[in-house]
Chains A and B, each alone.
Chain A
């Protein structure tokens, strides 16, 4: 394993590469306010991040990623378009997997460009690929935009679509909801009995707590609407399954997606974007004929990544984490900028210099 000084100098080399390509070097605080991260990622982040306490400022977290502070910095005073690079440690608690390091170095490259998002996708991918070229890695790509467009286009109620979209990054929950909405799985225990009652609020006991009687009544109305709604058709579920099961090269996947889009016109725009991106990648020298595409890529580990997603892997070393990962996270900037009505299309990626060194050393041996 490389020592810290080596990792730091490898990180500096990679960062210099991105600076030479026009990125501005930026820094981020190691201590981040916990509130922002908790609101973004929910309580789960407590299990993954180091939470600490300041007697005056309250809860803080050791930076679990750079994305949030870099977006915040850009939102506060960044001019567009902007290209940033940074390096430093990120900290992840490994409660269930003590063998993984809790402290990792990252070098990142982020692009904020409203006008040419697809070009920006291709640029980030191609630059990271170039930076890692000597390692001959396998790249995997995906596009969360396809799944999101497919869900938005389902012939069902807006409430069901919203429920599915909310759980897109929790595949098991998404599947359970989809099965229920498609009439393949039973309703949650007690639902039918409750809806069958003349007045469900009868015998409810005293009204306590902040959730008011009208909120409860609203949800009962929503559940009634849901019970009356037709199930999502088997054909639509099948198309979603086809989409999620895609595993082909980018060129082949486009053909396959055109077929799916005939029955699911809602994804046509997303397929167009995928095609335009493939052309933009090809123009930058990426061999799209051999570029792997996976329909489910990015669903489990990349919450808020809602467009192009990618990772670079050492095929000879399946024991190692990906050397680099990244993607488009417009959804994250939308949530972070909610208070000010900001939304800044953003795409970026990180390289793990420690893994780069590990692979370089292996190649020399």
Chain B
């Protein structure tokens, strides 16, 4: 039985993942035409590469349909409740860095911290009659973060893209999104709240706790982790 590894199917995340494995003597490559989602593994036996959307890798890991997978640590925390019971982190891979942050309009000179955001939300609700809207696609992470910091009187509105534009369009008052340079935020007249980011994300190699770990796959895992210089 083969051990299945899910890796992102395109873009920089895929290339960097291939580089990371390649530097450790495990050669991953796409095969066939540019458009065909098939891939090969050289340098070790018994492994099958599965090309997947990075956003679906957490779900596949949790279901145990893949034994290992590479995806952002933010996606695993967002998509899997009680994620530590479903997957374990084998390696932080050192690329795909991005911070999940909360940003407000730069013109809100009175709001610099979560504490300010909470007070502004109370006043906003009293004035406008609805809870201050924060646009995001990271509902769970943001909700947990705001609860832990005692922020009330806000609501999360779903935004799957162009999130930074929601404030100007008046469909949200603030945003919570992933950023690496902050360029898009600045261009949209937004500023990041002070303090630590909600989550510092990077590409991470995960192991599924729910996959079929039999004698074969375990042996392959041991061989692989040894080759990669990890502890399983």
Contacts and interface: CB of A to CB of B under 8 A. Distances in A.
B189 A166 contact: no
Interface string B185-213: 00001000011000000000000000000
A220 B173 CA distance: 18
A176 B85 CA distance: 33
Contacts of A167: 150, 152
A47 interface: yes
A163 B119 contact: yes
Interface stretch (B63-71, B104-112, B214-222): B104-112
A191 B155 contact: no
Contacts of B105: 205, 207-209, 211
B7 to A, nearest CB: 28
A173 interface: yes
Interface string A114-126: 0000000000000
Given A188-B115, A210-B128, A95 B81 contact: yes
A209 B168 contact: yes
Contact of A44 (B115, B123, B143): B143
A47 B143 contact: yes
A122 to B, nearest CB: 33
A218 interface: yes
Contacts of A201: 107, 109
A163 B81 CA distance: 32
A296 B217 CA distance: 53
A216 B108 contact: yes
B173 A210 contact: yes
A219 interface: yes
A189 B85 CA distance: 36
A208 B189 CA distance: 8
Contact of B167 (A42, A208, A213, A223): A208
B47 to A, nearest CB: 31
Given A190-B112, A208-B107, A98 B173 contact: no
Contacts of B170: 209-210
Instruction: Identify the interface centre among B110, B127, B132: most chain A CB within 10 Å of its CB.
Output: B110
Contact of A42 (B113, B123, B154, B195): B154
Nearest to B195: A189
Contact of A205 (B107, B140, B156): B107
B90 interface: no
B45 interface: no
B82 interface: yes
A38 B150 contact: no
A80 to B, nearest CB: 29
B131 interface: yes
Given A189-B112, A208-B167, A170 B152 contact: yes
B143 to A, nearest CB: 6
B120 interface: yes
Contact of B110 (A38, A166, A220): A220
B168 A208 contact: yes
Interface in A17-72: 38-39, 42-44, 46-47
A344 to B, nearest CB: 23
A189 B113 contact: yes
Contacts of B91: none
Given A200-B109, A200-B110, A215-B123, A43 B155 contact: yes
Given A190-B112, A194-B112, A206 B189 contact: yes
A264 B195 CA distance: 37
Interface string B123-143: 110011001100000011001
A259 interface: no
Nearest to A221: B110
A223 B143 CA distance: 27
A114 B2 CA distance: 71
Contacts of B150: 167, 170, 172-173, 176
B110 A216 contact: yes
9 contacts: A38-B131, A188-B112, A189-B113, A190-B113, A205-B106, A208-B105, A209-B105, A215-B123, A219-B119
Q: Which 5 A-B pairs have the closest CB atoms?
A: A173-B150, A190-B112, A188-B113, A95-B81, A205-B106
